């Protein structure tokens, strides 16, 4: 009898926990989707959903703002889209006109600005902190032709970064790099831009995750992928400095290639997907092409691609195209592969 009572108690607890989990998941989905549905037309309603989401799932509120919402402030040449036949064909399928899209875009941008401004002054310090990097980047874009004001934004953001060692939360490194990019081509602002990039570079380098990939959680895999991609990007932009020697440039491009998304990173590609689009305006999954293009002779390229193919067989075809040896390439590749792993 005691056993039956105990079993019944466990079943009651399990049922209660299951119901709570379902309710929590439903509440999360309702608030997450509520923000997304309303932010284009009803900013106050959207903020209400976001506040509720921040209370039950703060990490989801952060994800929502820095993945989806942040894209509202990308400055695009929208007229180019309206000239693209593929884009126009999509509009036709959706029974929409260019004028209707223009109107929707204008309204959506206006409301995104309202949401951002209200969150900057929100009574919840968590939400205020969440949008600070977005607000700084947005303002920097507005000051692109006002060097003194852009310089002040750069200094403020540098001070902001210097107060913490965590550049992952709120994607602080992403916005710092985008602000630095806006300052980079102005001769007077270049030193401040370089300072921001250097600080972020060192932080990303220090936070590379080297734990055994088979033992880490999904959340750590996501951080690993993000830190690797952002460090690759930092090396890529550093390599563009015209004052570098060829060897220095190659060194940075090699690091950019080596920290490009690997097989594990690609299983959690959402971790850097939005950074990729915000930094480049398009998908850029690897810095391999830039590294190979900077190499000199075909012999150098062949050696490099062969080394790459030891870890990623997709490079075998590229190595084969540059191969000039007398023996069959497949036999040569297998021999080199065996040598590498026997010595390891």
Residue 121 in any domain: the answer is yes
Residue 152 in any domain: the answer is no
pLDDT computed for residue 44 by the predictor: 97
Last residue of a domain, one of 116, 141, 166: 141
Residues 275 and 174 sit within 8 Å (Cβ to Cβ): yes
Give the span between the Cα atoms of 235 and 256, in whole angstroms. 5
Beta-carbon contacts of residue 45 (< 8 Å; ≥ 6 apart): 34, 38
Structural tokens at position 271: 């971790």
Structural tokens at position 266: 């690609």
DSSP SS3 for 42? coil
Give the span between the Cα atoms of 235 and 232, in whole angstroms. 5
For residue 23, pLDDT beyond 70: no
Residue 252 in any domain: the answer is no
Residue 339 in any domain: the answer is yes
Residue 109 in any domain: the answer is yes
Residue of 101, 39, 104, 95 whose CA lies nearest to 65: 39
Per-residue pLDDT of 110-119, as tens digits, reads: 999 999 999 9
pLDDT band at 245 (very low <50, low <70, confident <90, very high): very high
Per-residue pLDDT of 95-131, as tens digits, reads: 888 888 888 888 999 999 999 999 999 999 999 999 9
Residue 58 in any domain: the answer is yes
Percentage of residues in the chain having pLDDT higher than 90: 65
Last residue of a domain, one of 141, 161, 196: 141
Number of separate domains in the chain: 2
Q: What is the CA radius of gyration of the chain?
A: 25
pTM for the whole thing? 0.85
Residue of 36, 129, 171 whose CA lies nearest to 179: 171
Residue 124 in any domain: the answer is yes
Top pLDDT among 20 and 343 is at 343
Last residue of a domain, one of 121, 141, 161: 141
Give the span between the Cα atoms of 61 and 129, in whole angstroms. 12
Residue 255 in any domain: the answer is no
| Residues spanned by the domain of 304 | 300-344
Which range, of 148-157, 186-195, 223-232, 318-327, averages the lowest pLDDT? 318-327
Per-residue pLDDT of 268-292, as tens digits, reads: 999 999 999 999 988 999 998 899 8
Q: CA torsion sign, 232 to 236 to 241 to 242? A: positive
Residues 292 and 301 sit within 8 Å (Cβ to Cβ): yes
For 239, counting Cβ atoms within 10 Å of its Cβ (0-12 exposed, 13-18 middle, 19+ buried), the class is buried
């Amino acid at each position: 009898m005691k056993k039956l009572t105990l079993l019944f108690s466990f079943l009651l607890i399990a049922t209660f926990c299951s119901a709570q989990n379902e309710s929590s998941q439903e509440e999360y989905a309702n608030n997450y989707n509520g923000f997304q549905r309303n932010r284009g037309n009803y900013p106050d309603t959207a903020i209400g959903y976001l506040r509720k989401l921040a209370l039950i799932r703060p990490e989801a509120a952060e994800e929502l703002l820095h993945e989806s919402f942040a894209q509202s402030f990308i400055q695009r040449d929208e007229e180019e889209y309206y000239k693209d036949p593929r884009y126009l064909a999509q509009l036709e399928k959706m029974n929409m006109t260019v004028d209707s899209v223009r109107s929707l875009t204008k309204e959506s941008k206006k409301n995104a600005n309202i949401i951002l401004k209200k969150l900057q002054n929100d009574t919840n310090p968590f939400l205020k902190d969440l949008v600070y990097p977005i607000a700084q980047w947005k303002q920097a874009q507005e000051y692109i032709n006002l060097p003194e004001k852009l310089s002040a934004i750069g200094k403020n953001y540098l001070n902001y970064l210097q107060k913490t060692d965590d550049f992952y939360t709120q994607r602080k490194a992403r916005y710092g790099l985008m602000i630095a990019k806006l300052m980079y081509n102005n001769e007077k602002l270049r030193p401040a831009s370089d300072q921001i990039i250097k600080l972020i570079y060192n932080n990303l380098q220090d936070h590379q995750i080297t734990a055994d990939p088979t033992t880490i959680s999904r959340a750590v895999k996501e951080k690993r992928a993000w830190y690797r991609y952002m460090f690759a990007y930092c090396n890529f932009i550093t390599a563009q400095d015209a004052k570098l020697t060829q060897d220095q440039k190659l060194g940075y491009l090699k690091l950019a290639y080596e920290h490009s998304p690997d097989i594990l990173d690609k299983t959690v590609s959402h971790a850097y997907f939005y950074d990729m689009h915000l930094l480049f305006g398009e998908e850029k999954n690897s810095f391999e092409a830039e590294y190979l293009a900077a190499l000199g002779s075909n012999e150098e390229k062949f050696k490099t691609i062969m080394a790459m193919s030891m870890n990623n067989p997709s490079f075998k075809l590229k190595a084969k195209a540059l191969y000039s040896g007398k023996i069959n390439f497949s036999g040569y590749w297998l021999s080199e592969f065996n040598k590498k792993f026997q010595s390891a």
